[in-house]
Structure 1
Amino acid sequence: MLELLPLMLERVGILVILALLLSRMKSFRQVVQNEHSVKGKFLLILIFGAFGIVSNYTGVHIYQDSIMSQTWHFNVDSNNAIANTRIMGVAIGGLLGGPFVGFGVGLIAGLHRLTLGGFTAFACAFSTILAGVVTGFLGKKYGIQKNNSLLRAVIIGILMECIQMGIILIVAKPFDAALHLVQLIAFPMIAINGFGTLIFILIIQNILQEEEKTRALQTNKALFIAQQTLPHFRQGLTTHSSSEVSRIIFRLTNADAISITDHEQVLAHIGAGSNHHKPLQSLSTRLTKKALEQGDIFIANSKEEIQCSHENCPLQAAIVLPLKASNRTVGSLKLYYRDSNKLDIVEQELADGLSKLFSTQLELAEVELQRRLLKDAEIKALQAQVHPHFLFNSINTISSLIRTDSDKARKLLIHLSTFFRNNLQGARQTLVPLEKELEHVEAYLTLEQTRFPNKFTVDFDIEPSLRNAMIPPFTLQPLVENSIRHAFSKEKKLNVVVSAYKNKGKMILLTEDNGKGIPTALLKTIGNETVQSKEGTGTALWNIKKRIEEIYGQKENFQIDSDLGLGTKVYITLPLTEENLEG
């Protein structure tokens, strides 16, 4: 009995080697991952059915007390039997694939065993089919893919082998020969098949763990790429954002080219084929048009499937993914490869994940755009408001001057019309030249100085190169108005200075006065929220800060410094970029 152990171990070794080889094959790993598909089930039946056949052929020949170790057994004498590892392959197939796979594997291995002959042929064939069905149902109920199922799978494998021994005792004739056979082979076959099942399940679980690790790494990579691309896709699907996103994906994936399109044209193409896949050109591949029309993922494994109109295009494989926002396809993301072998399942899953993440980003960009439009409408409504008392006071002042100083009244009317024109234009624009904002301030000051002569002075210190710089409208005028309305002090004449200068590549707008200052309690909240006080509500400062935040995000800086009795300084720092600098 003990001399059978090393021989059985050799047979298990053959199957283990085959299992290790199979575990390196991409197709087998995919089958293990996708055992519920019909194609996967048939492949499992063929693979583990083949394992059963190999086990039958490589079994150890048993004749009474004689053990004959031949390499292959193509037939067994009527008085003989074979000890093999057939049940191990059948049990694993059933546990992995369920009842359908278990029955199929058991049928193949059992019928093959029946054709070899021997006095245990029918008993072994029946027990093999039964083992396949039983392990199939047990596999469906418990599953062997989970880490905590290893001991359970080994116990099931051992139990199936014990059942086979029992069926041999019941079915095989003569009984004395069957009993003698079971006494000789039971322990080695049960022990070795249990050990083989252990090794095989470890291999299967290793495949699953490797896949999980790969998926985790791909998920981390996809999330990292999404994090890098988020600032760009927040701008929407534009040529600039698509170009930046394409560069990031090209750097962080194995693709040989990255392309992003909208419904009409290529927005960006980085990598191979860029000599004819050019931005702002119409779509050149039929595969892309098909993906945009149907909103589905398409994979091409040949140049012919890509259907590029350029004859010498180097791209041989591609995955085209739709980019969606608000349940509609707004564009496509394409990963191209020079070699179709590079487009494996890992790359496909990564691309699919990126497509979903980018679609979410684009949808959020649309939501952000709508929010900005709504906020902009609110801001423009605030910008369009003019204090009624300012209008009435200005008209009254002009009216009183018509008879005494008609020239001055005429000039004031021109300034009043300038003030209102700038108000209306500013309400329709996001940015205006600094020169235009200064004109708005001067028109306001002319009207106020007529009403309050010799009460205040305003000086301007503007760097000439900044006069064409673009700034949000109603940025300086409300600050000057605040100083004049709230900073008056009985002890001294009010002086307001408006400055604009460059500092470290940014534009600084500074409004300062020598007025009475802002109380410390108010200084902590003013500009961050509206407040109720005798001095005012703080709406102007809050409005200015919110508009700057909406336009420039975190690139801006709004700061208020104030000391009681000494005055107040309001600093606004704006980036000097193409967005707000002309000329």
Structure 2
Amino acid sequence: MFNLLVLLAERLGIIMLLAFLLVNTRFFRGLLEKRTFKTQIWLTLIFSLFVVIANLTGVEITNSKEVITPLILTGLPQSDSIANTRMLVITSASLTGGPYVGMLVGLVGGLHRVFFGGFSDYFYIISSVLIGYLIGVWGDKAKGDGLYPKTFWVALLAFSAEMIQMSFIFAFRGFDLVKLIFVPMVLLNTIGASLFMEILKTYLSNERQLRAVQTKDVLELTNKTLPYFRNGLNFDSALHVCQIIKEYTNFDAVGLTDTENVLAHVGAGEDHHIAGEPVMTDLSKSVIAKGEEKLAYNKEDIGCPVPDCPLTAAIVIPLRVNEETIGALKLYSTARSKMTVVEENLVNGLALIFSGQLAIGIAEEQTSLLNEAEIKALQVQINPHFFFNAINTIGALMRVDVNKAHEALMQLSVFFRSSLQNGQEKEVTLEQERRHVDAYMSIEKMRFPDKFQVDYQVDVADNVMLPSFCLQIFVENAVRHAFGGKKKNNQILISLQPVDAAHFEVSVKDNGNGISPEVLETVGQQPVKETKGSGTALYNLNQRLQGLYGSKSQLQVITGKQGTEFKTILPLKYKEGAN
């Protein structure tokens, strides 16, 4: 039994080495976090290969209980058996890919084992498929909200898988074989499955920690690049931005272009990627022309005409403002291995934020040229208190929940972009305004869990037009002023209802403390110059409502002990080209 234990430990080492090599591949790690049909197919193929290897590297046990250890098993007499790590692979497949992956891998392992042994011991097919399904189902229940079960549950499930297998062997091959293989196979396959899953969880955990660090860097990077992007996309701003990005990332070169020329290139290849000259790589030209992100993993895909260019991998992302591509952000590496999923996610986040920052600059430039200076300033401004509170919230979340921190960062990007895009339009669709409000509230709810509840009652089409920021101003006013010290049961109801064939009513109602009579007289009627108030925003909105639609649409305020309601009547207009 001891010799068998040592021999199986060697086989376990082979599987663990393969597992270590596997999780170091970018493609495999990309299959682990989301269980889709495509990822399940790939996991089935990968683990099927593993289960065949487990059979081929097994230890042969003769009918007389003699242990034979060929390097690779090429055949098996019907009277002999194999001690192997097949259950380890099936258990790992079930826990990683779910019951259906486990069943298919179990089927492959069982069929191969039966075919390998001259079509004897058909019960291995039944036991392997059954174990694959059961461990997958039990594993999904044991993992709860996590990606995989905890180590204790993994070990218990692996032990259960071996016990089921031993029951089949006892029923079909007798107690003598079970007595010989029980301890080595149960012990090593249980340990092996636990180690396999720990390797997966460790690598995923390290990747998430790296994302947390990068989230912090993105926030600092965003803060440093904002002043330059607000001046527009030009040679000077592009150079400073590229230098900042290279400082905060691991890329070997960073570049920015407009639609035709290189604006800046910092790092490897800067001797021939020169500011002011036309974009030369085929990859960048394609991204600018199509407005779609592209990745390259070799020189040929990058398409640089200079033969000795050191750049061998790249991510190129379009910079878009108002649905129009105005340039490209290019990040290069001199080795393909440096280009991981983390880098891709980082670049996507940067491109989204940079596009928003560029929109700020464009919006501010346009605002300075408009006669409606006060109104346009309102449309493009972002509340600094909200912004810094959001940054602080993301920083706090990074210490306790990386996924929520990442989600908050993405919502902040959505809020930025919708603020700036909507700010350049007098009217936007209900769908656009609602997206902006939802992004704002998602961040507020992360700051104050369970404090606010926002509900919609909408009986108009999503493409109906209303003044930009109309709903957001009402909702923000309620969030900041309506509820005082109340920490729960703070409700905001957003209602859009038809009034007649040509008009609809917009109403935002809260169940807060109401507005005092002294303040009520001035709400919406005159600007309030105070840092904690939103009277200026309400005043400007009221001015816009009347300027766009006439006195019928002026702001109405109804308040009392049960809360406050802001209402306005708007004409039923739809986005051009829609009914």
Task: State the TM-score, normalizing by the size of structure 2.
Answer: 0.57
CA separation of 1:27 and 1:287: change in aligned 2, threshold 3 A: closer
2-side partners of 1:158 and 1:314: how far apart? 52
CA separation of 1:189 and 1:282: change in aligned 2, threshold 3 A: closer
- Partner residue in 1 for 2:107: 107
CA contact (8 A) 1:81 1:120 kept: no
CA displacement at 1:338 relative to structure 2: 4.2
- Partner residue in 2 for 1:241: 237
How well do the aligned residues superpose, as a CA RMSD in angstroms?
Answer: 3.4
Letter in 1 for 2:81: A
CA displacement at 1:322 relative to structure 2: 0.8
Letter in 2 for 1:83: A
- Partner residue in 2 for 1:66: 65
CA contact (8 A) 1:4 1:67 kept: no
1:199 aligns with 2:195: yes
1:180 aligns with 2:181: no
CA displacement at 1:57 relative to structure 2: 3.0
CA separation of 1:32 and 1:238: change in aligned 2, threshold 3 A: same
CA displacement at 1:275 relative to structure 2: 4.4
CA displacement at 1:211 relative to structure 2: 1.5
1-side partners of 2:150 and 2:86: how far apart? 22
1:86 aligns with 2:86: yes
SS at match of 1:121: coil
- Identity over the aligned pairs, expressed in percent? 38
2-side partners of 1:359 and 1:48: how far apart? 42
2-side partners of 1:102 and 1:37: how far apart? 14
1:351 aligns with 2:347: yes
- Partner residue in 2 for 1:56: 55
CA separation of 1:122 and 1:259: change in aligned 2, threshold 3 A: same
CA separation of 1:74 and 1:126: change in aligned 2, threshold 3 A: farther
CA displacement at 1:263 relative to structure 2: 2.4
Letter in 1 for 2:67: M
CA contact (8 A) 2:288 2:327 kept: yes
Letter in 1 for 2:234: T
Letter in 1 for 2:20: L
1:218 aligns with 2:219: no
CA displacement at 1:199 relative to structure 2: 1.4
SS at match of 2:122: helix
CA contact (8 A) 1:325 1:363 kept: yes
Spell out the pairing of 1:474-513 with structure 2 (5 A cutoff).
Answer: none
- Partner residue in 2 for 1:231: 227
CA contact (8 A) 1:80 1:119 kept: no
Q: Deviations for 1:176-233, whole angstroms, at most 9, x for unmatched residues?
A: x523323443344223322221111111111211221222223233333222212211
CA displacement at 1:371 relative to structure 2: 5.2
- Partner residue in 1 for 2:163: 162
CA displacement at 1:296 relative to structure 2: 1.1
- Partner residue in 1 for 2:407: none
- Partner residue in 1 for 2:443: none
CA contact (8 A) 1:94 1:136 kept: yes
CA displacement at 1:122 relative to structure 2: 1.3
CA displacement at 1:352 relative to structure 2: 2.0
**Mean Cα displacement is larger for which, 366-375 or 77-86?**
366-375
2-side partners of 1:54 and 1:308: how far apart? 43
1-side partners of 2:125 and 2:334: how far apart? 51
1-side partners of 2:154 and 2:304: how far apart? 52
CA contact (8 A) 1:11 1:85 kept: yes
Q: Deviations for 1:107-135, whole angstroms, at most 9, x for unmatched residues?
A: 22111110232897212232112222333
- Partner residue in 1 for 2:36: 36
Q: Deviations for 1:253-294, whole angstroms, at most 9, x for unmatched residues?
A: 333432212224332233344444333334333432321232
Letter in 2 for 1:66: K
CA contact (8 A) 1:120 1:168 kept: no
CA contact (8 A) 2:139 2:157 kept: no
CA contact (8 A) 1:97 1:139 kept: no
Structure exhibiting the larger radius of gyration computed from Cα positions: 1
CA separation of 1:156 and 1:375: change in aligned 2, threshold 3 A: farther
1-side partners of 2:332 and 2:304: how far apart? 12
Could you tell me which of 262, 269, 274 is aligned with 1:278? 274
Letter in 2 for 1:121: D
CA separation of 1:323 and 1:69: change in aligned 2, threshold 3 A: same
Number of residue equivalences: 377
CA contact (8 A) 2:48 2:109 kept: yes
1:288 aligns with 2:284: yes
CA contact (8 A) 1:36 1:97 kept: no
- Partner residue in 2 for 1:209: 205
CA contact (8 A) 2:4 2:67 kept: no
CA separation of 1:167 and 1:222: change in aligned 2, threshold 3 A: same
CA contact (8 A) 1:48 1:89 kept: yes
Letter in 2 for 1:152: W
CA separation of 1:125 and 1:377: change in aligned 2, threshold 3 A: closer
SS at match of 1:322: strand
2-side partners of 1:308 and 1:60: how far apart? 54
2-side partners of 1:221 and 1:276: how far apart? 29
SS at match of 2:315: strand
CA contact (8 A) 2:299 2:311 kept: yes
Task: State the TM-score, normalizing by the size of structure 1.
Answer: 0.57
Spell out the pairing of 1:254-403 with structure 2 (5 A cutoff).
Answer: 254-308=250-304, 313-369=309-365, 377=373
SS at match of 1:66: coil
SS at match of 1:319: strand
Letter in 2 for 1:288: S
CA contact (8 A) 2:33 2:147 kept: no
CA contact (8 A) 1:8 1:84 kept: yes
Stretches of 4+ moved more than 6 A in 1? none
CA contact (8 A) 2:246 2:253 kept: yes
CA contact (8 A) 2:221 2:248 kept: yes
CA separation of 1:24 and 1:304: change in aligned 2, threshold 3 A: closer
SS at match of 1:250: helix
SS at match of 2:318: strand
CA contact (8 A) 2:8 2:188 kept: yes
2-side partners of 1:530 and 1:55: how far apart? 75
- Partner residue in 1 for 2:150: 149
CA contact (8 A) 2:96 2:148 kept: no
2-side partners of 1:344 and 1:105: how far apart? 28
Q: Which runs of 5+ in 1 are unaligned?
A: 380-528, 532-583
2-side partners of 1:119 and 1:305: how far apart? 49
